[in-house]
Each structure stands twice: as structure tokens, then as C-alpha cells.
Amino acid sequence: MPHDNLLTVSDFSVVYDVDPPVEAVTDVRLELRRGEILGLAGESGCGKTTLAYGVQRLLKDPAVITGGSASFHDADGTDVDLFGLDERAMRRFRWDKVSMVFQGAMNALNPVVAVGRQLEDVYTTHRPKLSRAQRREECGQLLDMVGVGRDRFRSFPHELSGGMRQRVMIAMALALRPQLMIMDEPTTALDVLMQREILQQISDLRTEFGFSVIFITHDLPLLLEISDRIAVMRAGRIVELDTAANLYRGAQHPYTRQLLASFPSLTGERGDFVRGHGEPTPAGAQR
């Protein structure tokens, strides 16, 4: 029987081994439910992306995982220890079970390769038994699904708008029908109207395919709109985790209230700018 949770992270910590060492993520505990959108909020430098990379073992030196565990509860009922997989098994696991839309992803496409060919590479690597015709058909369906259109298969990235490039990256992340998609600031460089379209599309695709989403952003009002639950990070720790409705009606932690207060209202009196302090701290320093 499938576990109610898709991902369980326990006491997870990451230190950047510099001089002095920096505690980037400290004792994080997090559960992601099957089929939900979990927002991960906090200002730049608080550890959001480090947490997402660390769970997938994508961190590079000088980052060091110093403790904790991460378990993926597969739909077939098996539990996968993400830190117990060897490198080859972990490479197979990524994109197949968990995919990621990276920060600045719409600029990550290879500029000299057509977008359809880049999509096709996912199937060439992870589904080598598919014929070329089958790969092309899968890619066409993906481009249609995200609103780009299969007629753009031979287009190069510079021939697409920023929103269309972002949709191609979402299509790439969906190619193998993963159970979890991690999205790191996927709409930051887009205008407001395009943000709205992308967010609606993510919500519709989640409803259709039932995958879970971890949506990382500093934009708390955006998360209040699209998330089922929100985890708020400050200085490498999760300081509050609740439903979006509860956070909006009555955030408990002072830092969460600061984040909510930092966004100006369209009505009412002008107030002072409020800023929290969410940066990681040197290892062993007082918080």
C-alpha cells in the first residue's frame, strides 16, 4: 500500500566547508504528501535551493551533507533511501522519479540545439528502447501539453519567448512522468501575465497527472495562492510549516509575519519597509 507521504526528510543538515564553515541547512524535518504542492519560502540565502539540491544529492564542493536522511516512498509501495543509493542508481532515479526545473532554467537550454532535440535526449538517455518515431511522438505530445505546440520542435531557443522556453523546461521535467517535480524560482524572470499562465498550467498538470510539487520562491504571496502547505525557512531552518490558509490568517512565527508585512498593500497607509535576516550563519556561531 502506498505511503501517504511521498518524501520524508529528517534532521537534514548541510555545511559549506569554507573558512569559517557555514551552516547552510540545519536539522530540517519535512514531509511531502502525495499529490500536494508544498511551497518553500524565504529570502535569498536562507538555504532553500541547498535543501532541494541536497535531497537529490546534486550538491558540489564545498557543500557537505553532515547529517540526516531522506526517504522516497514510491507509488509501488517501496521506500527508497536516497542517501543509500550508489551514483549509478541515483542517476536513474533522477528525472524518472524526481525531476527539477532549475533556477534560471529558461536560459539553460543549449542555444545551438533545437528544443525538440533537447527533449528527445531525455528519452534517448532514460528510455533507450523507444524508437525514433516513438521519441518524436512523445516530444510532440509534451510540447502540445505545455502550450508550446509540436510545430516548434525544430525551433531554437532564441526563437522562443522567455515564457515558451520555461514551458519547454517544464515539458522536459514532465517527460518521464515523475512523481515529484521540484521547481526552483520558475517564474522569477517572467512578466506577471506569463507568471499567471505558467502557474495555472502547473496546477492543471498536477491535477491531471497527480504528481507532487515543491515550489521554491521568495515570493510568499504567490505561494499563498498556489500551495496546499508552506514551509518558511530562515537561516537554514524551517521556522514554520502550515497550510497556506492558516499562514495567511494567522502566521505564528515573527519571521513569517515579517515576510507577509514586507509586501506593500495597494490600499491603506504607507508603512516602513520590513526586512528579516535569513542568511546562514558560520558554524558554531550564536543565532
Enumerate domains of the chain plus CATH numbers. Answer: 1-97+178-253+271-287 (3.40.50.300), 107-177 (no CATH)
Judged against a pLDDT cut of 80, whether residue 246 lies above it is answered with yes
What pLDDT, on the 0 to 100 scale, is given for residue 186?
Answer: 86
Contact 232, 259 (CB under 8 A): yes
pLDDT digits (tens, 9 = 90+) for 134-151: 999 999 999 999 999 999
Q: Place 192 in a pLDDT band, splitting at 50, 70 and 90.
A: confident
What pLDDT, on the 0 to 100 scale, is given for residue 218?
Answer: 86
Amino acid at 217: T
Decide: helix, strand or coil at residue 256.
Answer: helix
d(CA 182, CA 98): 7
What pLDDT, on the 0 to 100 scale, is given for residue 108?
Answer: 82
Mean of pLDDT over the chain: 89
What pLDDT, on the 0 to 100 scale, is given for residue 151?
Answer: 96
Contact 179, 209 (CB under 8 A): no
Q: Place 193 in a pLDDT band, splitting at 50, 70 and 90.
A: confident
d(CA 248, CA 258): 12
Angle at 11 between CA 7 and CA 12, to 5 degrees: 75
Dihedral angle of Cα 83, 89, 90, 93, to the nearest 10 degrees: -120
DSSP structure class, residue 18? S
d(CA 25, CA 21): 12
Q: Place 216 in a pLDDT band, splitting at 50, 70 and 90.
A: very high
Q: Place 195 in a pLDDT band, splitting at 50, 70 and 90.
A: confident
Closest CA to 72 of 177, 174, 179, 173: 179
In the sheet with 22-33, reading across from the earlier edge strand, the strands are 79-81, 63-73, 5-16, 22-33, 281-282
Query: By percentage, how much of the chain surpasses pLDDT 90?
Result: 72
Judged against a pLDDT cut of 90, whether residue 270 lies above it is answered with no
Cα end-to-end span (Å), the chain: 43
